[in-house]
Structures are given as structure tokens and as C-alpha cells.
Amino acid sequence: MESKLNMETKKKFYYGWVVVFACFLINFVNTGLLVYTFSLFVLPVSTALAKSPTQIVLAASMFTAAFAVISPLIGKQLEKGRIKQLLIAGAILNGGGFMLLSKVNSLSMFYICYIIVGVGAAIVGPAVHSTLPAYWFEKKRGLAVGIANVGAGAGSIIAPMVITATMTSYDWRMGFFVLGAISAIILCALVFIIKTKPSEIGLYPDGLTKEEIDAQPAAERPVLEGLTRSQAFKTSAFWMICISFLFIGVAQLGVLQNQAAFLMSIKFDMIVAARALAYIGSMSILAKFIFGYLADKFNFKGVFLFGNLLLIIGIVMLSRVTPESNLVYMSAYAILFGLGIGSWYPIAGVIVGKTFGVKFYAAIYGFIFSIRAIGDIFGAPSISAIASTRGYSFGFLCAAACACVSVVLIMLIQTPKEYTKLLEK
């Protein structure tokens, strides 16, 4: 009787959703605070340090380079159950790095601080916040990963407004200090609630018990197998996904981290730029719910194509913005771009899980995301450099072309034979 009551209690409340909420907050810090506010600092810091915007934007690439180097190392630490240690390290480096940014007086120190923040971001990055939902969910994996990534959108709405208000009332230095304080507090708090796998509380993915797993037809049971990272390395699908994600990184981050500078360069004020970022963040939240659901219900290739069509249209519309562009047009570009950029995160997790399995998901996803980070590294400074010679419009069109390449590669991948054999056993 007591066992039955315990089982019913577990069914009423599955701890996996607590883990998803924790990943939501990690994303709030890692993407919402870090990525969506960067472009707001470019011109003020450029003026304060007497450097060009291109030199300031290069810090984003150094951040991403550090992120890319560290990310492949995190998956194995997560598989060993060291999530709490990762969160503490992330809090120290993220929070401390931002607080140090509030004190910099030279370009070299600005770069060093962003490298520190990049290491902290990698420690609690996609190898953590996209892997944990994949461990806890099978049937609702896309939705769970999508909800976790909604944190980035929530941060993108809140952070630009908070930082704009802070910078208006004080200055850019106080803006960095506030980012550091928020990051450290949130990550430290999560140490008390987060868990790595459902097996830690005697469950299987989706909240199922062993008895419920055994009672299911074999075809309906959660797939707990998967290729190792070394096995994945030997497949063409792995490298096609890596290259696809690299190109989409150029498209997304190259545009995202330059659009505020572009809008202000054509005489829109900072409030308009921040509002555009907030619209993008709002739509990215909606997209993660929508595309998380779609990724669970339909073939991931079609869902990936649809999401990136929205992204491409939004980028092309941005490339045609002029000082005379009205509110409707500005809103339309931000909405489409936001839906497109938000669609990628839940689909990416499903692509990796469906192609290679979840047993070594953290190690595989961490490496793949580090390759994507190369696109992030070159995206922002490349668009900025193109803007200095050919204009932002041409740079944004180049980013749209990168998104097209990404889509074609995903359309061409096939499930590796090695993984198919595991599923047939």
C-alpha cells in the first residue's frame, strides 16, 4: 500500500521539471544576461576606452573561444555527477568576471575579463543545461529542452531593460557589476536543488518506475543506449551537424551582437535598440515552446527547416532597415528573427539525441556545441568588419547565406548505422 502511494506521489510530481526549471535559470544567466546585453555595451565601452567598435566586439569572440575550448571537457564532468561543483565554479567565474569588467581601463583587461566569463559560461553551458533535460525526458525531450532554453529569452527581455536603466542612471560600469551580482546569486542558489539523472531518485526518464518500464512494449520504452563520442566522431552525420551548427552560429550571433550597433549607427537611440532586443527575446520564448513541441511530434529536419526560414527572412528584413523604417516593419523583423533564433535550441537537442542516443549525450553535445562556438567566434567580428567596408546590410545578407548552408547540411544527415544496430538489439 505504501509503495503504491509513493508511486502515485511520484506520478503527481516529477522532479524532472525542477531540473528543467534549474536549467531555465542557468540559461537566463548564460544566454539572457551574457549574450543579449553585449551589444548594449559596445558603443559606451568603445567611447570610454577610445577604441573602435570592431575592437570591442572582438571581446565577444574571445569569450566564445574560451567557451569553445572548455565546453568539450564539461560533458565527462557532468557524467561523473559533479553538477554542484560545476555550478559553484560557474558562479565564481561568471559573477567575478563581470564584476571585474566594471573596473577595466584598458582593452587588454577588457579581453581578459571576457575570457574569464567565457570559461565560466562553458562550465555551466550547453553541456549542462541542454543535457540534463535530455537525461530526464524521452517523450517530451524537445519540450523540456525548449522550456529550459526559455530562460535565455526571459533574460533577453529583462536584462536589456535592466541594464539600459542602470546605464542611463549610472554608467556602463555599474551595468557590468549588476550582471555579475545576478549571475553569482542565481548559480549559487541552484546548487541546493539540482540533480543530474532520474536514477538518483530511483526513476527512469519521463518519471517512469522500473515496473512501468518493464510493463511497456519494447518499442515504447525510453532509449537509454547511445554511441560514445569516439564512435560518433567516425560518422559523417556528426561532422555534418558540427558544420551546420557552426554556420548557424555565424548567422545568429553575428547578427544578434551587431544589430544594436547597426540601429544606433543609423540614428535610432539606445531605447529603440533595447526594445528590438526585447521583442526578439519575447519571440524566442514563444519559439522554444512551439518548436520544442513540434520537435517531439514531427521529423526534426522539417522543423529545423521551418525555424530557419523564419530566421533568414528576419535577417533579410533587418538588412533593409533604414532611418525611415516604421514601427510595424521594425517589429516584424524582430518577431521573425526572434522566432527563428529561438527555434534552434530545442531542435538542436533533439537532433543530437535522435542521431546518437542519450547515453553519452553530454560528451557528444559538448563537443558539437564547441564547434558551433567557432561560428559564434567569427560571426560577430566578421559582420562588424564587413560593416566597416561594405555596410551592415551586406554583412547581414552574408549571415543569412550561412543559415541557408546550415539548413542544407541538416537535410542531408542520416542516422548512423552503428546507432541503428544498437536500437535493433
- Residue 43 CA to residue 414 CA, distance in Å, equals 45
- At 326, phi and psi to the nearest 5? -90, 175
Query: What's CA 58's distance to the chain center, in Å?
Result: 20
Confidence at residue 306, expressed as pLDDT on a 0 to 100 scale: 94
Work out the percent of the chain whose per-residue pLDDT is above 70. Answer: 91
pTM (two decimals): 0.72
pLDDT tens digits, residue range 307-341? Answer: 999 999 999 998 888 777 777 888 888 899 999 98
pLDDT over 50 at 121, yes or no: yes
> Is residue 308 within 8 Å of 403, Cβ to Cβ?
yes
Q: Tell me, what's the pLDDT at 113?
A: 92
407 pLDDT tier (thresholds 50, 70, 90): very high
Domain boundaries, the chain: 13-198+223-424
What is the predicted pLDDT for the residue at 223?
Answer: 57
Please state, in angstroms and rounded to a whole number, the distance separating the CA atoms of residues 85 and 98. Answer: 20
Q: What is the pLDDT of residue 4?
A: 47
Per-residue pLDDT reduced to its tens digit, 71-88 = 888 877 777 777 888 889
Output the pLDDT for position 235.
92
DSSP codes joined into one string, 337-406: HHHHHHHHHHHHHHHHHHHHBSTTHHHHHHHHHHHHHHHHHHHHHHHHHHHHHT-HHHHHHHHHHHHHHH
Question: pLDDT, tens digit, for every residue of 100-119?
Answer: 998 999 999 999 999 999 99
8 A C-beta contact, residue 309 and residue 386 = no
Question: For the chain, how many residues are written?
Answer: 425
Better pLDDT: 187 or 10: 187
Instruction: Please provide the average confidence, as pLDDT, over all residues in the chain.
Output: 83
pLDDT at 218 over 60: no
Range among 37-46, 211-220, 232-241 rated most confident: 232-241
Q: How many CA atoms lie within 13 A of 179 on its CB side?
A: 38
DSSP state of 33: I
What is the distance between the alpha carbons of residues 115 and 124, in angstroms, rounded to a whole number? 15
| pLDDT tens per residue, range 151-174 | 877 887 788 888 888 888 888 899
Could you give the percent of the chain with pLDDT greater than 90?
Answer: 21
**pLDDT per position as a tens digit, 382-405:** 888 888 888 888 989 999 999 999
3-state secondary structure 256-324: HCCHHHHHHHCCCCHHHHHHHHHHHHHHHHHHHHHHHHHHHHCCHHHHHHHHHHHHHHHHHHHHCCCCC
Q: 206 Cβ partners below 8 Å, 6+ apart?
A: 14, 16, 136, 137, 138, 139, 140, 222
The three three-digit cell numbers of residue 411, written as one number: 537535410
The string of pLDDT tens digits covering residues 34-49 is 777 887 888 888 888 8
Residue of higher predicted confidence among 160 and 301: 301
Question: Per-residue confidence at 5, pLDDT binned at 50, 70, 90?
Answer: very low
User: 13-198+223-424 architecture in CATH?
Assistant: Up-down Bundle (1.20)
Predicted pLDDT of residue 2: 46
Question: What span, in angstroms and rounded, lies between the C-alpha atoms of 321 and 272?
Answer: 13
Q: Which pLDDT belongs to residue 1?
A: 43
pLDDT of 62 over the 80 cut: yes
**CA separation for the pair 134, 142 (Å, rounded):** 8
Tell me, what amino acid is at 62? M
Whether the CB-CB separation of 137 and 144 falls below 8 Å is answered with yes
Q: At what angle do helices 361-389 and 236-256 cross, to 10 degrees?
A: 40
